[in-house]
Structure 1
Amino acid sequence: MESLINYLLQYEQLNAQQIELIKNSIKSVKLEIGDYFSEAGKTANQVAFVQEGILRVCYYNKEGEEITRYFIDENNFAVDLNSYNFQIPSGEYIQAIVPTQLLIFSRKDLTNLSDTIISWDKIIGKITNKALMEKVNRISPMLAEDAKTRYTEFHNRFSTLVNRIPLNYLASYIGITKNSLSRIRKELTE
């Protein structure tokens, strides 16, 4: 729980009473490999902070293929923002790919924090802006690159994740087959 409080304190000062209110608003949830935090077709009504582990955000394309959009690791929030903000069914899944410990805020608890802590909306706004910028920076540079460059770039930017993510999900994320990824990794280690 301290990791969440330290994360929030990066954006704004909070007093002891506010910190206690935040702690009392959280539910701790453990997901096993393959468990979903959020599912397509359902409306998002919770926001998670990843205390430990990795989530992946994925969807199914028109051909029925599972596509990994991105990964969410420790000290980051997870939510389908569009579904949460507009109360519409989600178009994507958020799934644990390793055992994952989440700190969960319900919509009701977040509303209560917003009504009680004057700077809460400011904190959430800063966190949301940072997350959206990271998302754009994560996806945009990789679109025009070849597979080897995409993998190398992922490895350089997310070196702490590269060996924790199953190959099939990493391959899906960079847009190649698992066999191609294995070949690329082998070439780079020779």
Structure 2
Amino acid sequence: MRNFEGIIQEYFGQMSREELAIIRSYFKDEELKRNDFFTKSQQYCHRLSLVKSGILRVFTLSEGKEVTQWISTENYLMTEIAGFFFDQPNRWSIQALTDTSLLTITKTDYQKLCEEFPKWHEIEKRFLAKCFMMLENRVFTHLSMSAEKRYELYYEQNKALFNQVPLQYIASVLGMSAETFSRIRKKQAEGQD
């Protein structure tokens, strides 16, 4: 994992050392074993975590099949937004695909942090805006790029994942069937020979 303070500033903007120390004091080490759930759909997510190491998968069951929305790796923040921020039942389940180390703040401590550090409300808005921007970018790529271009972009940004997780999860993230994914993967491999 990169340095905690650097990652927090990347997500939330520049802060003083003192501010970063306050924030860091609320995050505690947490370990998940492979296949453990961080949270499940229809429950309420009560924590926000920074992935130190490992891989988490965000997914749901839709019309009898699993749909993978996101695969989170080291240096990403992870929560189920509806549950954590809006006290709604989770839409998504989050499960560890590998043994995973996290730095976690509970919802209770998060609320204490908001009270101790009033600037946090402004920081939180930036975080939610960044989440919205990431979602907007994903929608844009799904609407404006061919399946081949989406595959190429994701591959360039996440090469290591292609050897670490079942490929049907990546296909789902990219919004394509396993057959389409396999055809594109084969075509890409032939083009590299």
Correspondence list, 1:1-190, <5 A: 3-10=3-10, 11-16=13-18, 18-61=19-62, 63-143=63-143, 145-190=145-190
2:32 maps to a residue whose letter is L
Q: Cα offset for 1:126?
A: 1.4
> In 2, are the aligned partners of 1:12 and 1:119 still within 8 Å (CA)?
no
User: How far apart, in 1, do the equivalents of 2:102 and 2:87 lie?
Assistant: 22
Per-residue CA deviation, residues 1-51 of structure 1 (Å, 9 max, x unaligned), is 8732222234132333x4443333222112233221111010111111112
User: How far apart, in 2, do the equivalents of 1:34 and 1:168 lie?
Assistant: 17
1:9 maps to a residue whose letter is Q
SS of residue in 2 equivalent to 1:6: helix
Q: Identity of counterpart residues, as a percentage?
A: 28
Q: Cα offset for 1:138?
A: 2.1
Q: Cα offset for 1:73?
A: 2.3
State which drifts further: 18-27 or 92-101.
18-27
User: How far apart, in 1, do the equivalents of 2:97 and 2:139 lie?
Assistant: 20
SS of residue in 1 equivalent to 2:50: strand
SS of residue in 1 equivalent to 2:3: helix
- Give aligned pairs, total: 188
> In 1, are the aligned partners of 2:2 and 2:75 still within 8 Å (CA)?
no
Tell me which protein shows more helix as a share of its residues. Answer: 2
> In 2, are the aligned partners of 1:39 and 1:90 still within 8 Å (CA)?
yes
Q: TM-score, normalised by structure 2?
A: 0.84
> In 2, are the aligned partners of 1:33 and 1:97 still within 8 Å (CA)?
yes
User: How far apart, in 1, do the equivalents of 2:24 and 2:2 lie?
Assistant: 9
Q: Cα offset for 1:140?
A: 2.7
In structure 2, the gaps of 5 or more residues are: none
> In 1, are the aligned partners of 2:142 and 2:175 still within 8 Å (CA)?
no
2:29 maps to a residue whose letter is S
1:12 maps to a residue whose letter is Q
In structure 1, the gaps of 5 or more residues are: none
Q: Cα offset for 1:179?
A: 4.5
Q: Cα offset for 1:74?
A: 2.1
Q: TM-score, normalised by structure 1?
A: 0.85
> In 2, are the aligned partners of 1:53 and 1:98 still within 8 Å (CA)?
yes
> In 2, are the aligned partners of 1:8 and 1:123 still within 8 Å (CA)?
no
Q: Cα offset for 1:92?
A: 1.0
SS of residue in 1 equivalent to 2:156: helix
2:51 maps to a residue whose letter is V
Per-residue CA deviation, residues 100-133 of structure 1 (Å, 9 max, x unaligned), is 2111101111111111123222222212211220
State which drifts further: 144-153 or 114-123.
144-153
